Structures are given as structure tokens and as C-alpha cells.
Amino acid sequence: LVDLVAEAGAPLRVLHLGGGALTLPRYVAVTRPGSGQQVVEIDGKLLDFVRTKLPLPRNARVRLRTGDARDVLGRVPEGAFDLTVTDVFAAARIPKHFTSTEYVALSKRALRPTGVHLVNLADGMAGTGLAFTRRQVATAKAHFAHVLLLADPGILRGRKFGNIVLMASDAPLPVAGLVRRAASDPFPNRVVRGQELDDFQGGAKPVTDADAQESP
């Protein structure tokens, strides 16, 4: 998505909610020079370690902030970013306050009109029917005109647990390019969209702060 969301090499404004070892910020900094990025990570010791052992590329315009990503998201300027990337985990689960329609509303507020809300989900435990992801689809649809999923077919079939990427925007997403890249990847994925995504969602309803639960 980072490669396809804008003209090749054009700089982006990106807000990373959850930092880890700053892998995606590094990629954006190298492939889209001049991009302005912010990273929010609750684990300050992790950021200190990364700064020391894995320094960012020279001239990378990446601001690192320590704190709860939702709290920071609620304070960023309106319409400031082209892309928000939510990749927040605590003990291998997504905390519930990152799963609700109120949270997605904050992400949309932070985006430009053509911006993209991108989330790394985790689901696929046997017997759940991907209920968590179905409700996340409904939650994203409550705010954005275009929504799709990118996932390993085995996860979608309920055969294993893993990551599912959700993308949402009011502007059309680069579906053709995503389908082509997902199919040719060393680890092929499927793009679920349109009627197939509607069928996947079924009767699932949006999540609110009042009934939110952490991921499986």
C-alpha cells in the first residue's frame, strides 16, 4: 500500500501508532525521501534500544514519541496525515481501546480527505469464525466508503491464526495493484473487497468503546 497510495517517490505524511523496531518508517523514509513521519510507542525503553542499536537512516524525518497511541492520536492536528498505521499489541493481543468506532473516528479526523486508515489485525483462532475481524470490518465501514482486507487464505478459511491487514479510505483504494502484488508475493495473500467483503461481514455490527474487546 505504501508503494501504491501515491505517485512513486512522492513524500507522505504518516502517523505510526505502535513503533516496534521502526521497520515501516524506515521503508517509507528510503522509498519516499522527504516524508514526514511520527511514531508513537508506549514502550520508551524499546525506543531507546532501537535508537542505539538500529539507528534510523540519515536524513529520515521521523519523530519518535512515547505514550499511549490513542491518547496521542486524539491530540494530533486534524487532516494532517496521508496514512495512519495502527499496529499496536500488548502480550500478543490488540488492546480493546484500539478496536472501537470511537478510535476509528479519531484516525479519520487525523487523515486528509484522501488518506488511508491501515490496521494490522490478529485473528483466526479455531471456532471463532473470525468474529473479531468481521466486527472490525463493520467498524471501518461505519466511517469510510472503501474498505478491504489483505490476508493469508489459510487464515480466512479458519485453518490458522495470523495477521489480517485492514485498509479503509474515502478515496478509492489501489485494488488492482494490491491484488497483483498480493498474488505474486513469496507468501501469497488474498484481497477481500466488494460483495465478497460484504458477505464476509455478514451481520456483524460495529464495535463501540462500551462493548469493545481485545483481539484473540
Q: Tell me if 121 is assigned to some domain.
A: yes
pLDDT for residue 183: 93
Whichever domain contains 59, its CATH number is 3.40.50.150
The residue ranges of the chain whose pLDDT is under 50 are none
pLDDT for residue 159: 87
pLDDT for residue 158: 84
DSSP state of 102: H
Number of domains, the chain: 1
Q: 3-class DSSP state for residue 74?
A: coil
- Cell (9 digits) for 138: 463493520
Q: Tell me if 1 is assigned to some domain.
A: no
Between strands 13-17 and 36-41, the pairing is: parallel
DSSP state of 77: P
23 CB-contact burial (10 Å; exposed 0-12 / middle 13-18 / buried 19+):
exposed
Q: Tell me if 214 is assigned to some domain.
A: no
Which pTM does this prediction carry?
A: 0.95
Q: Tell me if 206 is assigned to some domain.
A: no
Q: 3-class DSSP state for residue 115?
A: strand
pLDDT for residue 58: 86
Q: Tell me if 197 is assigned to some domain.
A: yes
Domain encompassing residue 162: 13-201
Q: Tell me if 4 is assigned to some domain.
A: no
Q: Tell me if 5 is assigned to some domain.
A: no
Q: Tell me if 213 is assigned to some domain.
A: no
Cα distances (angstroms) measured from residue 65 to each of 19, 33, 62:
9, 21, 10
pLDDT for residue 114: 96
